[in-house]
């Protein structure tokens, strides 16, 4: 697995940073696009050694835009793995109380980012005859709860994107998969749901291990897989 070129979007967030650390520990080179200054400062401190050695690279880029996605992929060069980890959550109200702007936001954060980055990475993966794309969906996409219509619909679109893209790219040696997490044990989720049973939530490092496995040769038989975590 060593020495691959990997792009992890959302890599400065709670789940994304765990994913970056998993790939770095496996010996890979990781490019992380960013737009949140507070998050990138933490990343610079956490990955100082890897950044200095050139094994990690931070690129300021809005990956919801074609230019930003292309910039991140270009920085990775011969990209072997793309993890579409950037995303967002908004919900907690019924459909008739959810502004249409929230639908636009959820689509932009959860679907457009994944589509833009995959679109940028595919030509390079096709040229090398191999590649892995891992998307991040949600259990809400498969069993949508009341009050989360915009979020659930956007993550359902990620599921559809995963399977459709696998059909398009399978003949080029490219594998596409998605993880389907329930609640992830992050500081933000704990703050939002202080009375929840945190023991039932999954730590980011464990999810990162699943993503690392999906990107490995051991997972090569999987095509369009949706893995609940």
Residue 6 class from Cβ within 10 Å (0-12 exposed, 13-18 middle, 19+ buried)?
buried
Sign of dihedral through CA atoms 90, 96, 99, 102?
positive
Go through the chain and tell me how many residues it has: 229
Active site (annotated) includes residue 107: no
E strands, the chain, where?
5-9, 29-34, 56-60, 79-84, 131-136, 174-180, 225-228
Name every residue whose Cβ is closer than 8 Å to that of residue 130 and which is 6 or more positions away in sequence: 80, 173, 174
Tell me which residue of 172, 219, 181 sits closest to 203, measured CA to CA: 181
Are 131 and 81 contacting, i.e. CB atoms less than 8 angstroms apart?
Answer: yes
Helices assigned H by DSSP within 129-181: 139-142, 149-169
| Residue 82 to residue 9: CA distance in whole angstroms | 8
Catalytic residue among 57, 136, 151, 179: 151
- DSSP, collapsed to helix, strand or coil, labels residue 51 as helix
Active site (catalytic) residues: 151
């Amino acid at each position: 697995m060593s020495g691959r070129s990997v792009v992890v979007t959302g890599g400065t967030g709670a789940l994304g940073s765990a994913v970056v650390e998993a790939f770095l520990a496996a010996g890979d080179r990781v490019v992380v696009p960013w737009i949140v200054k507070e998050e990138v400062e933490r990343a610079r401190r956490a990955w100082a050694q890897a950044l200095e050695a050139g094994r990690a690279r931070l690129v300021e880029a809005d990956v919801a835009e074609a230019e930003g996605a292309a910039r991140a992929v270009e920085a990775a060069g011969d990209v072997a793995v793309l993890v579409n980890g950037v995303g967002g959550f908004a919900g907690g109200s019924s459909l008739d109380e959810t502004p249409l702007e929230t639908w636009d936001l959820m689509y932009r954060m959860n679907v457009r980012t994944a589509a833009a980055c995959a679109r940028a990475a595919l030509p390079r993966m096709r040229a090398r005859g191999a590649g892995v794309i891992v998307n991040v969906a949600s259990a809400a996409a498969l069993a949508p709860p009341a009050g989360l219509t915009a979020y659930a619909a956007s993550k359902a679109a990620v599921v559809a994107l995963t399977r459709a893209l696998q059909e398009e790219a399978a003949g080029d040696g490219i594998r596409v998969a998605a993880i389907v997490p329930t609640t992830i044990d992050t500081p933000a989720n704990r703050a939002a749901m202080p009375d929840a049973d945190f023991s039932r939530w999954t730590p980011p490092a464990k999810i990162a291990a699943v993503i690392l496995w999906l990107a490995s040769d051991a997972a090569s038989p999987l095509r369009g897989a949706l893995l609940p975590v």
